[in-house]
Chains A and B, each alone.
Chain A
Amino acid sequence: MIIKNISIRNFRSYYGDNSFDFSSGLTLIIGDNGDGKTTFFEALQWLFNVTVDTPNIENFSEMRKSQLEVGEMDSVVVAMTFDHNGIKTIEKKFIVECYEKGRYRPLRQEFMGYEDKDSGRTPIDGKALVLRCFDAFLQKFSMFKGESDLNVFNDPAALQQLVAKFSDLKEFDKYVAYTEEFERKSNSAFIKESKSDEKIAKQVESLDSKLIEVKRLLSHAERELTETEASAQLFSGKIEDLEKHKDTSEKYAEIKKRIEAKQAEATKYRGSIAANNFNINLLDKMWILCVFPSVLKEFQAKCSAFSKNKRAQNEQFIKERAKHEGKKEAYDEITQLVNGASRLPWYLPGEAEMEEMIHDHICKVCGREAPEGSEAYRFMCEKLEEHKRHALAEAEASKPEDQEQKELFENEYVEEIHNLSLNLGGFNETEVTGKASEIGGCIDLVNMFKRKLDEVERDLEDMADEKARILIQAEGVSEEMLDKSFQDLKGYFDQKGKAEKRALELEQKIRDLKGQRDYYKEQIDALAPGKGQVRVYKKVHDAFDYINKAFVGAKDKNLTMFLESLEDRANDYLMRLNANDFHGIVKLIRTANDSAVIKLYSSNGSEIKKPSGSQQTTMYMSVLFAISDLTTLKREEDYPLIFDAATSSFGDAKEDDFYNIIDNINKQCIIVTKDFLNRSELRMADINKLTCSVYRIQKAEGYDKNDLSTIRTTVVKVK
């Protein structure tokens, strides 16, 4: 079967019609994370699945869905055209209808097949065509998702199926069982017939009963040996698994221990931070007073300023009063008369009398006339002016008169405030200042805890990354298994040791019993029957015995030859896939129950117990190519190999070598990969070294990271 074309319409991110053409060799489909690589692979799995007839709305393109109006319909279609004794097509599709705003339903699913004949294109049942051309067995050995999927032989049944399919072993099993039964029946017939032959009857009876007992014991021992070997194999496998992951397990245990310690540290810091609740402390521990010292300082400064100001004003006041009193004394001194007599008071004569005398141009004190412009007239005018000034001065002076009786500050407010300032200082201030420093200390401590917690959380993130890396390297081994890994190791060794010891004992016992069986058989064979009929029965039994052994031998040889053939082909591919690297030798080792395991050996005979990721991948791929060869030989038809992300563990150099080699292998391979991308850009120089077809799948630009209905895969043929 050679795939010619695959078309995908409205299947998840593959919006609208998308088409891929394939050659008979290698085709690369290159896409980055989220570009639709796995969707391509799953579209094929959906197409080949003949067990589900119900359409799944989840497979309908979200982008197309968002465009459908009520009453509109569109289809999801995946189709493959291939050459398999003529051109054929399988097509699976279903219709989706928008029956209400935002509500959709799948209507029906169709699985069609078409066969190109001379008469034209003939429709046939798609399911039947898949079963005829690409059944589940072929799919199992043709389609691989991820590197871990490549080891199909992790499932012991897979090799059995393969061996049975290609080596006719199943039929040998049937004939071996048949001929064993023929030998038993013919022996019973001979023994029964011998009892009628007087010459040998007693000897036959005695030997036969011994033979029956030996066979019973032999059968029992063989059964026990099979179980014991299986048990030893089981423990061996478990030990191998544990040893394979020994380093990983140790690293895992170490990182787990470190994570636990860091988590405890983080818990401690979180507890310490939570224990210092600033909100509660604000009132409960009177932290609200933390600003008191600065307020008090300001208060004290203001009190001091007030006090100083008051003192200054008071001093000024006293000074002014003293000055006033001094002036008064000096005035009194100056205004004394020559003979010491007292002057008339300034208010005599009064203002009204003086104005009257000026008006009448006569001094009514001395009786002299005072005409206007005369000396006496001017004297009286000056006297009147002096009187007015004096009256005004007296009016002004009446205030100092009051001050003489009052203090400048009647109240003691400043003193009270000052006293308050003094009271708040001292012990109280010391106590509250202590609280402020306690708060500062506490905040510093909590900040320190927070810084430490940040550091611990950063460490924990790093450790979680490291742990994830370890688990990835462990290739799917669960955390639980890594956890109990070395606790179980000793127990497994003990049990394996016991099983192996018992197997050796049983092997010896079986050898002894077989010796006894052969001895009794030879004894019986050596008997010369007297009767002709008995002789015939004996010959018939001998014939069946030889025939049975020949079938057993042929079955054994057949299995060995099959494995050798597979091994030879696998090693040929392994060498080619690792042309520029160490490749080792693939060995298919037979196990109990006609199963086998794949192992890698060095040419010096040492087993490579821990092959690297790329060694494992090329080893498994080699076996897959070998199986594909056998399929081709067996069915006289070639089959494609389809890989999704099979080379994740390859480095760039290995990757280039691998593709250059696989490009030249005459086998149809479709590899969906993110290789050949450098920051989402194609490495065209490397791609151009290949002869194969290359497609680039990519999310169309302009999508919304949070909206699936904006995502669409575009398909571009690069070369």
Chain B
Amino acid sequence: MAGKSVGDKMLQAVLMDEKLMVFGGYSPDECTSLVRALSSDNCIVNAVARIIDRGRSGASESEVYREVNEFLKSNI
């Protein structure tokens, strides 16, 4: 099995936050990889994955905010 990417590790580290877990209502199983999180039905898991993914792909802070904000407004 291939090792975890930096994105995966970051996602896991953030989603393991207990308060966020309670607020988002997701389980630790959904935190295993960035690819999986990007297609998650849980909007918090998905939003965090989008922030990391878009940030790593070079998008600006405003672009990431606009995208994630719209996503949350539509899905929260």
Contact = CB atoms under 8 A, between A and B. Distances in A.
Given A540-B69, A557-B13, A547 B47 contact: yes
Given A175-B10, A182-B51, A554-B10, 7 more contacts: A178-B64, A178-B65, A179-B51, A182-B64, A543-B72, A546-B19, A553-B17
A209 to B, nearest CB: 24
A700 interface: no
Contact of B61 (A178, A189, A537, A543): A178
Chain B interface, DSSP helix/strand/loop, else mixed: helix
Nearest to A557: B13
B6 A175 contact: no
Interface of B: 6, 9-10, 13-17, 19-20, 23-24, 43-44, 47-48, 51-52, 55-56, 61, 64-65, 68-69, 72-73, 76
B13 A554 contact: yes
B55 A178 contact: yes
A550 B14 contact: yes
Task: Name the residue in A175, A181, A544, A547 with the highest tally of chain B Cβ atoms < 10 Å from its Cβ.
Answer: A547
Contact of A168 (B9, B15, B23, B65): B9
Nearest to B6: A168
Contact of B14 (A185, A544, A551): A551
Given A549-B20, A550-B17, A172 B10 contact: yes
A286 B17 CA distance: 104
Contacts of A500: none
Contacts of B44: 543, 546-547
Nearest to A181: B61
B14 A542 contact: no
Nearest to B44: A543
Interface in A141-196: 168, 171-172, 174-175, 177-179, 181-182, 185-186, 189
Contacts of A171: 6, 10, 55-56
A70 B20 CA distance: 79
B76 A543 contact: yes
A175 B52 contact: yes
A338 to B, nearest CB: 173
Contacts of A182: 51, 64-65, 68-69
Interface string A552-588: 0110011000000000000000000000000000000
- Count class of interface residues, chain A: 20 to 34
A684 interface: no
Interface centre among A174, A536, A550 (most CB of B within 10 A): A550
Which of A171, A179, A543 neighbours the largest number of chain B CB atoms within 10 Å of its CB?
A543
B20 A547 contact: yes
A51 to B, nearest CB: 28
A537 B69 CA distance: 9
A482 to B, nearest CB: 47
A202 interface: no
Interface pairs A-B: 3 shortest CB-CB:
A550-B17, A554-B13, A550-B20
A174 B14 CA distance: 14
A539 interface: yes
A554 B6 contact: no
A178 B13 contact: no
Contacts of B23: 542-543, 546
B19 A549 contact: yes
A81 to B, nearest CB: 30
B65 to A, nearest CB: 5
A186 B69 contact: yes
Contacts of A536: 73, 76
Nearest to A179: B51
Contacts of B47: 543, 547
A185 B17 contact: no
Contacts of A539: 72, 76
Contacts of B56: 171
A489 B56 CA distance: 49
Given A543-B47, A543-B76, A174 B20 contact: no
Contacts of B65: 178, 181-182, 185
B13 A558 contact: yes
Contacts of B10: 168, 171-172, 175, 554
Nearest to B76: A539
B76 to A, nearest CB: 5
